[in-house]
């Protein structure tokens, strides 16, 4: 699947990437919205990228928003995470060196994929087990959920859904396979990396939906990247007639997240910050959603 086809073009919920901190924050936002009577999990489509793939799969499960929130803040309920060993300060610079001189986005994706295929990481099976621990249910939900990944060799995006025949754990693991940190995921003989290699949020995939809510764990004013920006994607959606609202981390959430989005220790404070923010933005989201 390389594009989304939907018969119901009503409401789409897009959840972007941002590591374990992004999972915690986005889960908190959904819980805070629900606290105020705005449960956006009833979207006609959920598009999840990287962290958003885990949140999307959880949101489509049978658990309540309170139960999902407790999975972030209660140590006894938290998923098993593998500490990511990397230099936060030097990682962006190393990535820029790899991408320098690339002619287009397709070449950017292929370069990152080649780097990911060579990078030393934990074993693929070990990483898969950690991802599986995040998911309340083992199967695909009935309601539409699309998870974004990228073929490490060709650089082509792949959209996984319930009709793809791919195990949802593998689809989430592929979408969350941060290049250079986590191993590319093997699916049907191909290796896949993080959907954020295409775009941090992939909001443009919600084209054609009347109302689109983007929950983006990327802080406003984040350093410019060679990828399409969320602002560009939203402008494209609005130009096509969609009503769009963006929720991104506020000052309190950014402080709770800290400098390393892959640090499991920030889950609880970040989830609480997200929940508070969700409550504050509920009126705006309600106006869009209803």
Q: Tokens for 95? A: 């990535």
Query: How far apart, in whole angstroms, are the C-alpha atoms of residue 87 and residue 113?
Result: 20
How many other C-beta atoms can be found within 10 angstroms of the C-beta atom of residue 231? 11
- Choosing from 50, 164, 200, 242, the catalytic residue is 50
Q: What are phi and psi of 62, to 5 degrees?
A: -85, 0
Catalytic-role residue among 161, 194, 204, 263: 194
DSSP per-residue codes, 109-146: HHHHHHHHHHS--S-HHHHHHHHHTT-S-SS--SS-EE
For the question of residue 170 being annotated catalytic, the response is no
**Catalytic site residue 50?**
yes
DSSP secondary structure code for residue 27 in this structure: H
Question: From CA 126, how far away is CA 123, in angstroms rounded?
Answer: 5
E strands, the chain, are 11-15, 45-49, 145-151, 157-160, 185-187, 190-194, 211-215, 243-247
| Rounded Cα gap, residues 50 and 175, in angstroms | 5
> Strand 190-194 relative to strand 145-151: parallel, antiparallel, unpaired?
antiparallel
Phi, psi for residue 212 in degrees, rounded to 5: -130, 125
Q: What DSSP state is assigned to residue 243?
A: E
Please compute, for residue 19, the number of CA atoms within 13 A of its CA located in the half-sphere on the CB side.
22
- Catalytic residue numbers read 50, 194
């Amino acid at each position: 699947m390389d594009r989304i086809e939907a018969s119901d073009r009503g409401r789409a919920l897009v959840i972007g990437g941002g590591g374990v901190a992004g999972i915690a924050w986005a889960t908190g936002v959904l819980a805070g919205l629900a606290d105020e009577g705005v449960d956006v999990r009833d979207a006609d489509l959920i598009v999840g990228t990287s962290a958003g793939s885990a949140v999307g799969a959880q949101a489509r499960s049978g658990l309540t928003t309170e139960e999902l929130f407790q999975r972030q803040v209660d140590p006894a309920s938290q998923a098993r995470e593998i500490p990511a060993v990397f230099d936060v300060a030097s990682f962006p610079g190393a990535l820029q060196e790899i991408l320098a001189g690339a002619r287009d986005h397709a070449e950017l994706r292929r370069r990152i994929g080649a780097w990911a295929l060579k990078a030393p990481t934990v074993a693929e099976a070990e990483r898969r087990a950690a991802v599986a621990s995040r998911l309340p249910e083992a199967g695909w939900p009935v309601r539409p959920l699309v998870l974004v990944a990228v073929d490490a060799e060709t650089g082509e995006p792949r959209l996984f859904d319930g009709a793809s025949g791919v195990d949802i754990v593998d689809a989430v693991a592929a979408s969350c396979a941060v290049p250079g940190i986590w191993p590319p995921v093997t699916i049907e003989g191909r290796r896949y990396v993080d959907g954020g290699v295409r775009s941090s949020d992939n909001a443009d995939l919600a084209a054609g939906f009347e109302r689109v809510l983007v929950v983006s764990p990327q802080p406003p004013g984040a350093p410019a990247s060679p990828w399409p920006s969320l602002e560009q994607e939203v402008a494209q959606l609005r130009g096509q007639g969609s009503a769009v609202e963006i929720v991104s981390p506020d000052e309190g959430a950014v402080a709770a997240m800290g400098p390393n989005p892959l640090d499991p220790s920030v889950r609880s404070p970040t989830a609480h910050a997200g929940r508070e923010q969700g409550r504050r933005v509920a009126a705006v989201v309600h106006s869009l959603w209803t």
